[in-house]
Structure 1
């Protein structure tokens, strides 16, 4: 197994009494609405702390701040996202809370796969690769295991949710 270039540092605890009800709430439509509307607050917190702190921290949620180049504006756009880690890669999925349109960050990565993640107090340049086929099915099951909300998101839309593997650039 390769050592990951991404720090595995999260605050909070997976055994927190808040974790189970918070994940259950996130799987509901009102929960999705609340989290979607708190994303701006979370983005600012993650930006100021280089990914050390997130509003989902007390439940030890694996959150990364992904910064992409806007495909229309050319400006840097940042999105707080849950991730799944496997060896030296992070995976992110464009669930968009089960909405019928892709989140903008996925279009940004399709046009320009070079991006940056803020995680555990570090900013790391990455390259995104779309995940497809059996690997995508397998990794999505890991997301659903991580937070059952992902099963709910999948049931809300017929859209094929985009997924990306993020690999640290060689220079980082």
Structure 2
């Protein structure tokens, strides 16, 4: 597994490509075999300003599913803290923009969605094992 600094640098470069191409490159759709990349815009919990990140996602019917994993660092990602304070957000997919509302999956739904992530390429169990807390499975429902 590559070091955390490498992963963080790769995402910075990814965001730079997205910005430099004005959104023409940098996002891709989720498929049955691989996760996709979307741009998630939240409202900052302290600043009230829009904050955007590019995150991986899977589709689950009309919902989008992502993991609140900050690389494999211990703290939750800022975007998840923002969504817990204000669950309304927007996403940009290769197919266009959607307004969504976030919530954490729990119980059987979380187990099912976690298992789905395990079949899409990355070893999420190994990544999650590096953290002391449970990784939130975030469901983004259309609003």
Give the TM-score, by structure 2 length.
0.84
Aligned length: 138
Q: 1:79 aligns to what?
A: 53
Distance 2:28 2:99 in 1: 23
Task: Report the structure, 1 or 2, having the larger helix content.
Answer: 1
Q: 2:7 aligns to what?
A: 35
Task: Report the structure, 1 or 2, having the larger strand content.
Answer: 2
Query: Any residues of structure 2 matched to 1:56-135 within 5 Å, and which?
Result: 61-135=35-109
Distance 2:107 2:5 in 1: 30
For structure 2, list consecutive stretches of 5 or more residues without a partner in the other structure.
none
Are 1:71 and 1:108, in contact at CA under 8 Å, matched by a contact in 2?
yes
For structure 1, list consecutive stretches of 5 or more residues without a partner in the other structure.
1-27
Q: What RMSD in Å do the two structures reach over aligned CA positions?
A: 2.3
Distance 1:168 1:41 in 2: 29
Q: 1:147 aligns to what?
A: 121
Distance 1:102 1:85 in 2: 22
- Indicate how the Cα distance of structure 1 residues 89 and 96 shifts in structure 2: closer, same or farther if over 3 A, else same: same
Give the TM-score, by structure 1 length.
0.71
- Indicate how the Cα distance of structure 1 residues 148 and 121 shifts in structure 2: closer, same or farther if over 3 A, else same: closer
Distance 1:39 1:56 in 2: 14
- What do residues 79-129 of structure 1 show as CA deviations (whole Å, max 9, x unaligned)? 111111111000011121221110011110011011010101512111112
- What do residues 4-58 of structure 1 show as CA deviations (whole Å, max 9, x unaligned)? xxxxxxxxxxxxxxxxxxxxxxxx142x432322223323444521xx532789x
